[in-house]
Amino acid sequence: MATLTPEVDIASALATALTLVVGTDIKYGPPRAPLSTGNAATIWVTPYGGSEPDPLLNASVSGSIWHSKIQVLVRSGADDYTDGITQARAVRDALHCKQSSGYIAWRALSSEPLYLGIDEVQEHRWAVNILAEWNA
Amino acid sequence: MAIEVGYAGKVQVASDTSGTAGTFTVVGGQAEGNITPKANTADITQTNTAGYEQRIPTTLDADLSLSFFYIPSDAGQAIILSSLTNRTPMWFKVYRDATNVSIAYCYATEFPTKIDPKNPVKVDAKLMFNGSPTVSPATPLTIA
């Protein structure tokens, strides 16, 4: 019954809003190996659960209300905290309360990006967690 | 006979002219439906009895309600709203599963639309029973 892939739609919305390219600047799944130093900020998008779906009556036809959680991880260029946090906030602003076709709502789950620390090549990382609600 | 799951149920509605055998429309976005056939009672307690209440069933009645997520284009939701705004009767049919139903003749009396920025727009509609409930698979309970 479920038909939407929120991480794909969110990546597409970010590419449009921030003038980025899916597959180059935005990638699916959890972050893999750290980038080599000197790269600009990179974004990773992955689903990570959400509360249980609420079935409607006549659920085989009317479907359920789905509460998908999507994590957008923003990684800065090497030792570039300012650029990274700016990009993380831009991600939040591009997605929070955006009216997207097929969705009931997209909402940020925290007011500020969640700082995750710095990796071995001095790239800062933030998580922007998004709730995507939809009916199918 | 097995226990039945709620999400297999549904509510259909029809305008007055449809009758119980008419064309019923599923209400979209249904979250919760309720039909409660019941008997009203009269207090016949007498002061000279042995100190307890006594009642007798009188008229048959039903409580009706339906909660749904608002879909502006939905035909079933429109029938409920039309019953309220035009003050015309309608039919309310609750399927507990694919075949077992309860039906009531009624008026829609409340169509509250609650706006909450963190949740889908939801309507908790109230309907007022106006006769002729039937319940299956038990022997139909009918008011002429």
Instruction: Answer yes or no: is A98 within a domain.
Output: yes
Residues B92/B134, Cβ–Cβ less than 8 Å: no
Of the given ranges (A85-89, B27-31, B99-103), which has the lowest mean pLDDT? B99-103
Bridge partners (DSSP) listed for residue A27: A44
Of the given ranges (A68-77, A89-98, B29-38, B96-105), which has the lowest mean pLDDT? B96-105
Residues 6+ apart with CB under 8 A from A44: A26, A27, A28, A29, A30, A31, A72, A73, A75
Model confidence band, residue B3 (pLDDT cutoffs 50, 70, 90): confident
SS3 A93: helix
Asked if omega into B137 is within 30° of 0 (cis), the reply is: yes
In angstroms, the separation between the Cα of residue B106 and the nearest Cα of chain A is 21
The predicted model scores a pTM of 0.84
Residues of A in contact with B32 (CB under 8 A): 57
Look up residue B57 and give its amino acid: P
Nearest chain B Cα to A106, which residue? Answer: B118
Structure tokens at B79: 């029938």
Quick: pLDDT tens for B38-92.
899 999 988 776 788 889 999 888 899 999 999 999 999 999 999 999 999 999 9
Of the given ranges (A25-39, A78-92, B91-105, B129-143), which has the lowest mean pLDDT? B129-143
Q: Which fold has domain B11-45+52-135?
A: Pnp Oxidase; Chain A (2.30.110)
Mean pLDDT, chain B, rounded, equals 85
Instruction: Answer yes or no: is A15 within a domain.
Output: yes
Look up the ipTM and state it: 0.78
Q: Average pLDDT in the A64-68 region?
A: 96
How many domains is chain A partitioned into structurally? 1
Direct distance between the N- and C-terminal alpha carbons of chain B, in angstroms, rounded to an integer = 31
Quick: pLDDT tens for A83-133.
999 999 999 999 999 999 999 999 999 999 999 999 888 889 999 999 999
Residue where the block lists tokens 């029973």: B129
Among the partner residues B6, B30, B118, nearest to A62 by beta-carbon distance: B30
pLDDT at A116: 95
Instruction: Answer yes or no: is A1 within a domain.
Output: no
Taking CA atoms, A130 is separated from A31, A68, A69, B33, B81, in Å, by 17, 8, 6, 31, 35
In angstroms, the separation between the Cα of residue B98 and the nearest Cα of chain A is 9
Residue B140: name the closest of B104, B89, B90 by CA: B104
SS3 B64: strand
Residue A23 forms contact with B (CB below 8 Å): no
Nearest chain B Cα to A60, which residue? Answer: B8
Bridge partners (DSSP) listed for residue B110: B126
CB within 8 Å: B31 and A56: yes
Instruction: Answer yes or no: is A117 within a domain.
Output: yes
Direct distance between the N- and C-terminal alpha carbons of chain A, in angstroms, rounded to an integer = 6
Model confidence band, residue A79 (pLDDT cutoffs 50, 70, 90): confident
Runs of H (alpha helix) within chain B: 75-86
Nearest chain A Cα to B95, which residue? Answer: A58
SS3 A135: strand
pLDDT tops 80 at residue B132: no
From the centroid of its chain, how far is CA A6? 9
For residue A93, the enclosing domain spans: 6-135
CB within 8 Å: A57 and B31: yes
Which helix (H) or strand (E) covers residue A61, if one does?
Answer: helix A59-62
Specify the CATH number for the domain of residue A63: 3.30.2000.10
Query: How many residue contacts between A and B have a Cβ separation below 8 Å?
Result: 40
Interface test with B, best of A51, A52, A56, A57 (most B CBs within 10 A): A57
Instruction: Answer yes or no: is A55 within a domain.
Output: yes
